[in-house]
Structure 1
């Protein structure tokens, strides 16, 4: 009997072709290329364990020595230097893009609820813009808008304001020669270490917990737009589940994807179709 010949499909091609993914195919290609880097396969498993161990030790010691081990400006400078010389430009593109995407989501909620709060302004376009406490600010923006919403009624709005859903093309400083081109997940593992050192125990806990509000934001977007699609991307991250002993880099990566999905759907609601003309440069 002749052997049954099966096809040999590529997982990566299937992911890229998946019609249920709302992201622009150029962005999907950037994400896939980043996931296929050698550092993601060989270095990430080690960096992931190392990061968790070091951060756990830092957290324990900080309960005995509860002061800031590193000024925030030093943390910013160190992380920007690391991104500039050791992380692939495409990964940096995705990181810069995330700050803009999350700001757009926060501002959409501000503009479409009666909340007494001005739109936030954190929309970096260049690698240098990730300094000046941008990481801390983008976490605080989440808390500020949620606390402000406590005083208003969140309900469906008939005429939605889709102002400022654009994403400027990021400048990852591609002209700078990289010593190594790490993928974004491995880079997050290493950057999590100075982050835990620079923040106090409570600040670090607050930053980690901010990602548990992803489901809350998706529910708010559902209420405001009347579109249940946002609920499909919930991951069961209950805001009342207060546990900071988690895989932070993995949570950050998932958080970024959830934000991308939600933002892409807002673009579709605004213009009738998912984004398809994103300018992207590939390594």
Structure 2
């Protein structure tokens, strides 16, 4: 089935320009063309336009009601395995191919970014990569492990730096070897008649379920892991000595916890930030290889434009 977005097949009308085509052609946001096309196709879908405005307030009200109900439930009540089986079932049967592709990519890209920081730190630390090959692989508590990985990485990295009296700094020779395309294909995602739900609607629907079937600690940690976007962005920018690349990473201050009611929207921002940071690393990797092939000194590498 051809998944070319409609805005790429229609002729440009100057009296009625497509906002999606403008965003696709714009190069100020660093994303590969195939990722940007999938993201905008998902964002311009009828599901997001007509269904999301109704789902979002219902989902947020449900979060409030579940929080009240959990006052009367044992604190450690949790059904993580069942949760992940339900999430995988829902993704396979109701979520659009573009959204599923972006979700699976997120685990791979996040793992690569953590590996990049861990390996280029003056006190290198190991990571636990999560690289699901398909939606069924998510049943292995992949969403919960993703949140645990992030916090454990920040703790291990900074413990190692503190123990050696070091601080994260610009790497003299940057290792990009872990940065690569995940190898996941959009055409391999489920494409049944009911696979219509866009990414944001799916996240809004799944967030209350996530809250219901995990402990309060696990849900709170998942919601507040989103505020580490700036933290991870700062780590990468410090290693690369390129602070200007943090401008599009904006998921609120990590020291100011936010309400879980907006977790769905912020999770979308988290996914997009990860895609953009990975794309920037790919561009720098290409510039690094080009400079090496030309015999250019390493010290001038990051003074080059990335476009």
Give the TM-score of the pair, scaled to structure 1: 0.89
Structure 1 residues 210 and 115: alpha-carbon distance in aligned structure 2, compared to 1, 3 A threshold: farther
Q: How far apart, CA to CA, are the structure 2 residues paired with 1:145 and 1:232?
A: 23
**Which segment is superposed worse, 233-242 or 164-173?**
164-173
The residue that corresponds to 2:260 in the other structure is 245
Q: How far apart, CA to CA, are the structure 2 residues paired with 1:263 and 1:63?
A: 40
Q: How far apart, CA to CA, are the structure 2 residues paired with 1:69 and 1:78?
A: 17
The residue that corresponds to 2:297 in the other structure is none
The 5 A counterparts of 1:192-231 are: 192-231=207-246
1:184 aligns with 2:192: no
The 5 A counterparts of 1:89-100 are: 89-100=97-108
The gaps in structure 1 that reach 5 residues or longer are 1-5, 274-283
The residue that corresponds to 2:178 in the other structure is 164
What's the secondary structure of 1:223's corresponding residue? Answer: helix
Once the two structures are superposed, residues 62-90 of structure 1 have per-residue CA deviations (whole angstroms, 9 ceiling, x without a partner) of 13323455511110110000000001112
The 5 A counterparts of 1:1-283 are: 7-67=15-75, 70-115=78-123, 117-151=125-159, 152=161, 153-170=167-184, 174=189, 177-235=192-250, 237-272=252-287
Q: How far apart, CA to CA, are the structure 2 residues paired with 1:115 and 1:50?
A: 46
Q: How far apart, CA to CA, are the structure 1 residues paired with 2:254 and 2:154?
A: 11
Q: CA deviation at 1:191?
A: 1.1
Structure 1 residues 226 and 125: alpha-carbon distance in aligned structure 2, compared to 1, 3 A threshold: same
Q: How far apart, CA to CA, are the structure 2 residues paired with 1:56 and 1:112?
A: 42
The residue that corresponds to 2:291 in the other structure is none
Q: How far apart, CA to CA, are the structure 2 residues paired with 1:115 and 1:64?
A: 45
Using CA pairs under 8 Å that are at least 6 residues apart, name the structure with larger relative contact order, 1 or 2. Answer: 1
**Which segment is superposed worse, 257-266 or 54-63?**
54-63
RMSD (CA atoms): 1.9
The gaps in structure 2 that reach 5 residues or longer are 1-13, 162-166, 289-307
**Which segment is superposed worse, 178-187 or 211-220?**
178-187
Q: How far apart, CA to CA, are the structure 2 residues paired with 1:25 and 1:116?
A: 33
Q: CA deviation at 1:180?
A: 4.1
**Which segment is superposed worse, 254-263 or 239-248?**
239-248
Q: How far apart, CA to CA, are the structure 2 residues paired with 1:169 and 1:89?
A: 15
**Which segment is superposed worse, 62-71 or 96-105?**
62-71
Q: How far apart, CA to CA, are the structure 1 residues paired with 2:78 and 2:260?
A: 21
Q: How far apart, CA to CA, are the structure 1 residues paired with 2:191 and 2:38?
A: 19
The 8 Å contact of residues 68 and 197 in structure 1, kept in 2 or not, is answered as no
